Amino acid sequence: MTIDVVTIFPAMVEAALAVGIVGRAIERGSLEVTVRDLRAFTADRHHVVDDVPYGGGPGMVMKPEPIFRALDVIEAERVGDCHVVLTSPQGSRFTQEVARELGQHEHVVVLCGRYEGIDERVRARVDEELSIGDYVLSGGELPALVIIDAVARLIPGVVGDEQSVAEDSFSRGLLDFPHYTRPAVVGADRVPDVLLSGNHAEIRRWRKRESLARTLARRPDLLKTATLDEEERRLLAELKELKELKDGRIAELQNGKTGQ
């Protein structure tokens, strides 16, 4: 898989891609990432990439021609279909599922916006617009790095232990279970005994239960789409019952307090 990143801050992107799991994946050739400086595709001696907005208003807009030239060069270089992604708050939400789908493409190009955004005519060359969340950043580079990191982790061999990818949060649509490491005791905090038991069946069951409990408490929306096995469905039913009991008890106490 190749990923081309088009940005006016190549050093920012290169720095993040030089370290960690993604950095190692690129070193090993599991993933080829090429960072393109948008200014290299300008035709004027000041390498201008932005201009004032038609219709007035604050800020600047990214000019279309340098982006078109960059896409022309990249698409000419890459044999086969290039899937062009624009990172912007107007995009559809980036998720683990989208990361999986993006990983199916041979060539992905990520356009990083800056200023108020890009000239609307560029969108005719964009296959997919992605947002990493409902907030406004100063540039599309961080979203591009988020996307590259999530996609890279799904490439076989990039994350040391495949199992950990398979068990990753969201890979099965649930929040992750709690993790512990040495020492077993910190102050008054002990690691749950089950994790020290060596009983792997019990440990797996405990992790499933914790993952479900955390998802039920923090992201019940995820339970609608999560793929649960028989044991998880049973555990979830128990947890929901417990939760109803607890909520019922809390309501009683509150009514008791207000004397209703």
Handedness of CA 13, 144, 137, 122 (dihedral sign): positive
Decide if residue 23 touches ligand 4FV (CB under 6 A).
no
Preceding amide of 183 cis, omega within 30: yes
> x/- binding map, residues 53-92, to ligand 4FV, per CB under 6 A?
----------------------------------xxx---
**Nearer residue to ligand 4FV within complex by CB, 123 or 172:** 123
Give the nearest distance from C-beta 139 to ligand 4FV in angstroms: 5
Which one of residues 115, 123, 155, 168 is an interface residue with ligand 4FV (CB under 6 A)? 115
Catalytic option among 75, 167, 168, 176: 168
Q: Residue count at the site for ligand 4FV (CB under 6 A)?
A: 16
Decide if residue 131 touches ligand 4FV (CB under 6 A).
yes
**Nearer residue to ligand 4FV within complex by CB, 148 or 235:** 148
Q: How many CB atoms lie within 10 A of CB 99?
A: 21
Q: Is 162 a catalytic residue?
A: no
Decide if residue 7 touches ligand 4FV (CB under 6 A).
no
Label each residue of the chain as H, E or C.
CEEEEEECCHHHHHHHHCCHHHHHHHHHCCCEEEEEEHHHHCCCCCCCCEECCCCCCCCCEECHHHHHHHHHHHHHHCCCCEEEEEEEEEEEECCHHHHHHHCCCCEEEEEECECCCECHHHHHHCCEEEECCCCCCCECHHHHHHHHHHHHHCCCCCCCCHHHHHHCCCCCCCCCCCCCCCCCEECCEECCHHHHCCCHHHHHHHHHHHHHHHHHHHCHHHHHCCCCCHHHHHHHHHHHHHHHHHHHHHHHHHHHHHCC
Which one of residues 123, 139, 165, 194 is an interface residue with ligand 4FV (CB under 6 A)? 139
**Nearer residue to ligand 4FV within complex by CB, 145 or 235:** 145
**Nearer residue to ligand 4FV within complex by CB, 53 or 191:** 53
Residue 1 burial (CB < 10 Å; 0-12/13-18/19+)?
Answer: middle
Catalytic option among 65, 75, 116, 119: 116
Give the nearest distance from C-beta 245 to ligand 4FV in angstroms: 40
Give the nearest distance from C-beta 230 to ligand 4FV in angstroms: 38
Choose one: 10-18, 20-28, 132-140, 167-175; the region binding ligand 4FV (CB under 6 A). 132-140
Q: Is 168 a catalytic residue?
A: yes
Catalytic positions? 89, 116, 153, 168
**Interacting residue ranges for ligand 4FV, rule: CB under 6 A:** 87-89, 113-115, 117, 131-133, 135-137, 139-140, 143
